[in-house]
Amino acid sequence: MHQGKFIFAQITEFVAWYLFDQCVDRYKGNSKVRQLNCRDQFLAMMFGQLTNLRSLRGIVLCLNAHAKQLYHLGFRTDKFVLSTLTRADENRDWRIYRDLAQLLIKKARKLYLDDHNFDIDLKGALYILDSTVIELCLSVFRWAKFEHDTAAVKIHTQLDLRANIPSFFLITTAKVHDVNILDMIEIEVGAYYIMDRGYVDFERLYQVNLAPAFFIIRSKKSLSFIRLYSSKVDKNVGIRCDQIIKLKHFYSSRDYPDKLRRIKYYDAETDRYFVYLTNNLKLKAEVIVKLYKHRWQIELFFKWIKQHLYIQVFWGTSANAVKTQICIAICTFLIIAIMKKQLKLNRNLHEILQILSVCQFEKTPINTVLSEFDPPNFKDQAQKLPFLLDF
């Protein structure tokens, strides 16, 4: 990265702007726009994410305070108006930034695919499906009413376990059930899908089986089945039974007419029993259990993005504004992850984001800033979340 450019301008060089323009054109984002185009809107929101600003007013004040540097930061406007930025967030199609996030996801997954030494040797892709809920104030976000006097949105995510990068995400109101994501994703042949009990829907699981792909899912206690035969198990590793079953209930057996494998496992650490269902009849039972244990990686991912991306307090009240902010926050995370890999930075993402939050207006090469800056307590904080912080 050559000298003479602001840190923020160096970061935005990792965005393929011609692809961004294609996303804008797809939804006519700049149609009838006079002052603030989609690129400036995206850059302003991304600036707010990187600098941890708490409101659109704060973003506007900070950028206007450096009006003479806006062009060199990559902006095309020479002044920001709060009402204009607010209207852009409220009305400009959020899918522009969703599509950009999907393009960045594709690039990031290629960079990180072989970065982690996965401890299980399998040929197919490994995905974890889950969702996280972000609570909102019902009096302000009435469109997101959830239960009784609460409001919330839900981010459905498919995490690529090999790359520790989300391969798909969907933003809905919290009322949308988790299992609906199975209708949205494209099932990959030979891939493994790891899910909790919220995704138990035998008609949809049978479609995964027909792909053909594999699923590993927690069983519900009410499962009605007929045991066809059992395999010998090693109880020393916690496996209590390994059975081949067929569903007994009329509707369940109609939706899933094929055989299933049922594995019961005892976890000595938590003193709990777990029952898993899978359509993979060949893998060892211990491997099935070990694969499901990796599902907690997505919980760590959700915890990380809630702590480090600005999606807990929203800068707009409409559904479009909320989805826009979430998508741009994910784009920011992906851009920094791509930058880290391409510049071969040794720091984890937590450290990088903390350092960048205070040096956007410096003209030092990013490599220099991130190698020389060494604030205290970073290692202690990073150890609390040992997941993709160690990208």
The answer to whether 259 and 241 have CB atoms below 8 angstroms apart is no
In the chain, how long is the greatest CA-to-CA distance?
75
Q: Which residues contact 271 (CB under 8 A, 6 or more apart)?
A: none
Within 10 angstroms of residue 236's Cβ, the number of other Cβ atoms is: 6
- The identity of residue 109, as a single letter, is R
Distance between CA atoms of residues 145 and 138, nearest Å: 6
Q: Which of 165-174, 254-263, 273-282, 340-349 has the lowest mean pLDDT?
A: 340-349
Q: Is the pLDDT of residue 375 over 90?
A: no
The CATH code that applies to domain 197-281 is: 2.20.25
Residue 275, SS3 per DSSP:
strand
DSSP string, 243-265: EEEEE-SHHHHHH--S-EEEEEE
Q: Which residues contact 90 (CB under 8 A, 6 or more apart)?
A: 316, 317, 318, 320, 321
Q: Is the pLDDT of residue 327 over 50?
A: yes
pLDDT at residue number 306: 85
Distance between CA atoms of residues 205 and 255, nearest Å: 9
Report the helix count and the strand count for the chain, using DSSP H and E. 15, 9
- The identity of residue 181, as a single letter, is I
* Model confidence band, residue 378 (pLDDT cutoffs 50, 70, 90): very low
pLDDT at residue number 89: 95
Tell which phi-psi region holds residue 52, choosing left (phi > 0), alpha (psi between -120 and 50) or beta: left
Q: Which residues contact 297 (CB under 8 A, 6 or more apart)?
A: 128, 159, 161, 164, 387
* CA 355 to chain CA mean position, Å: 22
pTM recorded for the entire structure: 0.89
162-192 residue pLDDT tens: 888 899 999 999 999 999 999 999 999 999 9
Q: Return the higher-pLDDT residue of 276 and 124.
A: 276
Distance between CA atoms of residues 217 and 98, nearest Å: 28
The answer to whether 318 and 90 have CB atoms below 8 angstroms apart is yes
pLDDT at residue number 374: 59
pLDDT at residue number 305: 86
Residue 131, SS3 per DSSP:
strand
pLDDT at residue number 267: 93
* Model confidence band, residue 104 (pLDDT cutoffs 50, 70, 90): very high
Residue 373, SS3 per DSSP:
coil
pLDDT at residue number 372: 66
Query: CA–CA distance from 149 to each of 138, 316, 319 (Å)?
Result: 7, 20, 18
Q: Is the pLDDT of residue 221 over 70?
A: yes
Q: Is the pLDDT of residue 117 over 80?
A: no
Q: Which of 29-43, 54-68, 119-133, 364-378 has the lowest mean pLDDT?
A: 364-378
* Model confidence band, residue 211 (pLDDT cutoffs 50, 70, 90): very high
Residue 157, SS3 per DSSP:
strand
- What is the dihedral sign for C-alpha 350, 352, 355, 358? negative
Mean pLDDT of the chain: 89
75-88 residue pLDDT tens: 999 999 999 999 99
Q: Establish how many alpha carbons lie within 13 A of residue 380's alpha carbon, considering only the half-sphere containing its beta carbon.
A: 3
DSSP 376: T
Location of each CATH 2.20.25 domain in the chain: 197-281
Q: Return the higher-pLDDT residue of 1 and 17.
A: 17
Distance between CA atoms of residues 180 and 308, nearest Å: 28
